[in-house]
Structure 1
Amino acid sequence: MQRKIVIAFVTGLFIAAAFGMAFAEGGNARKGKFLYRKHCRSCHGVSASDLSPATKTQKEWKAIFSDTSKIPCNAKWPAMPESDVNDIFTYLHDFAKDSPSPAKCS
């Protein structure tokens, strides 16, 4: 019985990795807001297009962050840990315009 549980767990991990679930639940939205203001807000709204959580739906944020290599700003992120990118995603997603608590200002 215990062996079946371990096999099921390991199989689940491989399936999650195979589907590229890099931005699964669990990011820290509060930290993401801080990181967004620190790394993103300095350009977006100034020299780049205005961007805040409420500019997109949750589905749109998921689509954007499903392949971060396609995000134009990605070239500026190499030194940023994946956990920080996940926190920024969580902030943007959790306060998207169709979320239960959309952002009113960033």
Structure 2
Amino acid sequence: MHRKFMILTAAALVLGMSVSMAFALGGGNGRKGKFLYSKNCRSCHNGGTAADLSPADRTQAEWQATFSDMGKIKCSGDWTLSDEDINDIYTYLYDYAKDSPSPAKCS
């Protein structure tokens, strides 16, 4: 009985992590993400305060790795964005990465 409970608990944890990771890394609104990126990120990532940064500066895998560990994003502790907004920004950056069908530079 105890072993069965442990297996079910582990399965539930894996499923829960998969669902949260799917939400955290995709399925957002890229159009909204572009607006949010311009409003919240470009003010620093303009080559002055922080390095210039556009979606096409990284591959989709690199964006995924960055956003899967928010600790890699130095300024993330200062953000006042919701998880949904962060997911939208991620979706925009991922969808227009340098290896995507439509790489984009910020203007």
TM-score bracket, normalised by the shorter chain, equals 0.7 to 0.9
How many residues are treated as equivalent by the alignment?
94
Further displaced range: 23-32 or 90-99: 23-32
Equivalent residue in structure 2 for 1:68, among 67, 70, 73 = 70
- RMSD after superposition: 1.8
Q: Sort the Cα spacing of 1:16 and 1:42 in 2 relative to 1 into closer, same or farther, 3 A.
A: farther
- Find the counterpart in structure 1 of residue 101 from structure 2: 100
- Percent identical residues: 57
What TM-score does the superposition give when structure 1 sets the normalisation length?
0.79
Unaligned runs of 5+ in 1: 1-10
Residue 93 of structure 1 aligns to a residue in which SS? helix
Aligned residue for 2:51? Answer: 49
- 2:27 matched to which residue of 1? 26
Change (3 A) 1:83 1:16: farther
SS in 1 for 2:24: coil
Give the 3-state SS of the residue equivalent to 1:32 in structure 2: helix
Contact 2:24 2:83 in 1 (8 A): no
Shift of 1:105: 3.3
